[in-house]
A and B are shown apart, each in its own frame.
Chain A
């Protein structure tokens, strides 16, 4: 239809205009469209919320004791978990740096633990540390009376830290392996041992920009939902995110839910101010990875610590073995399971596609503004991050309300994809921006000199620059989207379920063997997927 229109348009106005139209299409407008579309959605969401509050006859919000407690607990667990994650992440990175393990294996394993489905780790921890868990069985075997419960604050911190220790260890490890070889040679030439080098000379390098890592982990912990849902054993251990879920799901109180969401968003923005202050510092997350120059050797202490961390990280994975022992072909090929896999797959693909379009478009606009030395690029970055300030449960509630006013014209599948994509977009944006901005001034000169169209620049120059990073972040986002259990808790129906939701359903109905089996299949699929991506697209360059 579009081509037909262009043909008609060309026959009436002439070939010159037609060529110009095509050139315009290849131009910046086409690339900017997804971002404009994203802005339109943001405005629509904002307007709907404003209209909703405007149409209320009386606005009363309940700030009961439970909500006040949830604010306190949200920050308490977030600060505690962040402190633990940064400290232990740092210690782990040092031990890994001293070890003889290949850096490729280290970074890919830490990457996997960071993006592993929350359900997998949570159920894995229960399988090991629950009252009927493996550890208790071992204690009973040796007649040791050592009972403990993992439900409550201990479980919440243990599982939350799991992901964030992996993230911070990865971050510090990358810093360590990127210390220039000459610098290390200079240190050894002056007979400075590792401990002294670390405390005196390497510390500034390692701790540079640590505020970004702290902010990111804090935000992850504040937005904690699934872990709190599984491990909280008391109504006093509730985060704002869970309080919002309760308001929507059980009290049908969308006003309180949205206002709670705004309170949480405001608090997250306060935390994010340090990131926003770092203007135009695009070297945030990725680092060039060189071959490690090994001068420091592992010692007994570092090896012992590494063994403890291996126990911490790998024991929950034993739930996969438990799952495989409960092999159930009927369940695997049942209509429910197949449908859940198809929906998980479709949601992951569509949310990835949407977030990729938006993030590439916004990267393009950011670079254009940066090249023009315009301060507006900060606002573009802000609009990309603004949606991640809103708790996903609140966002789900708002979209549910909008869809309800539209007589449910939008299918739940589309809404879940959009919510996931909005949360993935900032991640893709952050990950790609260093490569995207690389050599931009030189490139701009060449682009002007050879009159290269923006679309051509994006495909033939930019894509080649960030191809590897793109595949890595896309595969990670795909896995994150597949394993998400947030928005689906509000939008599921009998015919619309994802794999994590089905697993949680089986688990809730005490079909533990089936739940663990499906979990094992799901995790194996994810590992295989990540491995394939790694092999196909990142074979010769090591993993970042």
Chain B
């Protein structure tokens, strides 16, 4: 009897007070203390009576790989952080379910979006970043960049990094079947092909290259967080390829209802307010906190048409790159 009383007193409240758990798999920097994850977690937990459990992988490329390897036996509800170039491959896994956002909700975004499985949460444009105190006359076009032998370029491996794949897509969009030739002309200047964007950008900051493949939003980070306005994005006349980061609910998610609630939350100010100054990307809704400062340092460049590459397209883009270094 005493035992039963003890059980009631100590264990029952634990069950009664237990909050629902939302398991999100994302890339490392998103949940770091300097990333947007902690603030988003706080905002969402205020409205959901739940707890977010973040799990991380090294990079966005590794996220999809992880759920594919295990068929999501690890029990994630949401995969957050793959980009539009991986969407087709992700859909092929048949691990994701349709989201419940209405077309009206999607039409309120500042980008065109109609996908039924994945929901965007931020976007950006690939760009080359340089330090204006060191490089005084940056190139104005891709062709000029390829012709400038005095410029050391840092890029990322398209097989392991989404910006790397983005560059391969960007070059293909501009050069088409001449991509191989263009890659060959660029190879002499490429001093580092890093595994991930963060490695490559770190090496650029360490002075190992004059320009680095990154996003047009990167200068905003240096200007706002570090008060250093020397870092600038090279804006090419011919336009820039776009990257949209998305999230999706997994079919075998243990807590689908909560996952859907989170997906709805991503297109609200509660989530989007933390994107410009946390993930240093463009928010997908207008009027977020402090966006005027952000856009001042990260003006939106000329955009190329959006391309949703299939697995075959991805293989083709990578092939043009790899055949240039054989």
Contact = CB atoms under 8 A, between A and B. Distances in A.
A258 interface: no
B198 interface: yes
Interface in B189-206: 191-196, 198-199, 201-203, 205-206
Interface in B6-42: 28-29, 31-34
A254 B196 CA distance: 21
A250 B56 contact: no
Interface size class of chain A, counting residues whose CB lies under 8 Å from the partner chain: 35 or more
A250 B61 contact: yes
A492 interface: yes
A233 B196 CA distance: 12
B74 A236 contact: no
A489 B58 CA distance: 8
Q: Which of A132, A136, A254, A509 has the most CB of B within 10 A?
A: A509
B202 A507 contact: yes
A23 interface: no
A190 to B, nearest CB: 57
A66 B322 contact: yes
A250 B68 CA distance: 10
A131 interface: yes
Contact of A234 (B70, B193, B198, B203): B193
B240 to A, nearest CB: 23
Contacts, number: 96
Interface string B198-219: 1101110111100000000000
B91 interface: no
Contacts of A234: 192-193, 325
Contact of B56 (A235, A336, A492): A492
A511 B62 CA distance: 23
B55 A233 contact: no
A538 to B, nearest CB: 40
B103 interface: no
A494 B57 CA distance: 9
Contacts of B64: 252
Given A130-B206, A149-B191, A494 B29 contact: no
B326 interface: yes
A126 interface: yes
A404 B70 contact: yes
A493 B202 CA distance: 22
B202 A235 contact: no
Nearest to A497: B56
Contacts of B34: 509, 511
Contacts of B55: 493-494
B1 interface: no
A510 interface: yes
A118 to B, nearest CB: 16
Give the interface residue-count category, chain B: 35 or more
A509 B32 contact: yes
A219 B16 CA distance: 56
Most B C-beta atoms less than 10 A away, residue of A149, A249, A404: A249
B230 interface: no
A126 B206 contact: yes
B325 A132 contact: no
Nearest to B321: A235
B64 to A, nearest CB: 7
B73 A407 contact: yes
A507 B205 CA distance: 12
B207 A130 contact: yes
A251 interface: yes
B159 interface: yes
Contacts of A407: 73
A532 interface: no
A494 B58 contact: no
A509 B55 CA distance: 18
A400 B61 CA distance: 18
B65 interface: yes
A60 interface: no
Given A408-B73, A509-B34, A250 B65 contact: yes
Contacts of B3: none
Interface string A86-128: 0000000000000000000000000000000000000000100
Given A250-B62, A252-B68, A404 B73 contact: yes
Contacts of B31: 494
A236 B206 contact: no
Pairs of residues from A and B, 5 with the lowest C-beta to C-beta distance, nearest first: A131-B207, A252-B68, A252-B65, A132-B207, A233-B192
13 contacts: A149-B208, A151-B203, A229-B195, A236-B325, A246-B195, A249-B58, A250-B61, A252-B69, A404-B73, A505-B28, A505-B32, A508-B198, A510-B201
Given A132-B207, A251-B65, 8 more contacts: A235-B322, A246-B160, A250-B65, A252-B66, A408-B73, A493-B55, A494-B53, A511-B34
